[in-house]
Amino acid sequence: MQRVEHTRAFLLHQRAWGDSGRIFELFSREHGRLSVFAQGVRGSNAKLAGVLQPFLPLLVSWAGRGDSPRLTGAEVQAAAAPHGSLPQAHLMPAWYLNELVMSLTARHDPQPELFDHYAVAIHELRTAPGLMRTLRLFEKRLLDVLGYGITGLAEERFDSPEELERLRPQLRQALAGCLEGRTLRTRAVAQSLKDFERAHRE
């Protein structure tokens, strides 16, 4: 039986399991992306309900055999605990990062470099005003880690708003090749919101 104690992780997604349980999709630094099961974590009285939240740096423990072990503990990583919540306008971009990680990484394949890039991006979404720079830079670094990076693309170019606009279609095209025809839900929702706002301005 595998037992893992206090490993760094982020929660990417969760869904209900049974009457009081949940299945948590985690992105851990040392073990890659994996699912863990937990009972008694739903409802306001659940001990871990306030801890197991997306975009928080966590220390997670689990135990079990097979591909989906049982969650045994979770706490916010004190040294990296954020000061303040993610701005409302940055929630959709943060979910977009989660969806990219879930769509383009293999289960149980450690990606410590990508984990560090993700942690930086989430921190910047919480604290820095440069939303587009954060998103485009994460896309670039994700492509690099996956082996589909754009040759000769220097990160210094991401400091210019004009360059960010020019780079966006290149990055999207490269990501589309990795997604192999799959559609990202967060992109579709964001486009629908833009279309709705545009229609009500006209």
Same domain, 27 and 52: yes
Whether residue 119 sits in one domain with residue 189: yes
| 62 and 133 within one domain | no
Which of 18, 49, 80 lies at the terminal end of a domain, its last residue?
Answer: 80
Looking at 29, 62, 80, the residue that finishes a domain is 80
Instruction: Report which secondary-structure segment, H or E, holds 125.
Output: helix 112-127
Tokens of 148: 């589909």
pLDDT (0 to 100) of residue 8? 97
CATH classification of the domain holding 33: 2.40.50.140
Q: Does 75 lie in the same domain as 94? A: no
Number of domains in the chain: 2
User: 101 and 174 in one domain?
Assistant: yes
Same domain for 162 and 140:
yes
Q: What pLDDT tens digit does each residue of the chain (202 aa) get?
A: 789 999 999 999 999 888 778 899 999 999 999 999 988 776 655 677 778 899 999 999 999 987 889 999 999 998 777 877 888 989 999 999 999 999 999 999 999 999 999 999 999 999 888 899 999 999 999 999 999 999 999 999 999 999 999 999 999 999 999 998 888 888 776 655 455 445 545 5
CA atoms within 13 A on the CB side of 191: 6
Specify the pLDDT at position 196. 44
pTM value > 0.75: yes
Residue that has been written with the tokens 């780079």 in this structure: 167
Give me the pLDDT at residue 83, please.
Answer: 74
Domain boundary at 80, 97, 127, which?
80
Q: Which two tokens stand for residue 79?
A: 């040294």
Q: Which residues of 98-110 are buried (b: 16+ CB within 10 A; e: fewer)?
A: bbbbeebbeeeee
pLDDT, residue 67, reads: 80
Query: Do 196 and 107 share a structural domain?
Result: yes
Residue 163 is part of a domain; what is its CATH number? 1.20.1440.120
What is the span of the domain harbouring residue 68? 2-80
Pair 103, 33 in one domain? no
pLDDT tens-digit series, residues 5-54: 999 999 999 998 887 788 999 999 999 999 999 887 766 556 777 788 99
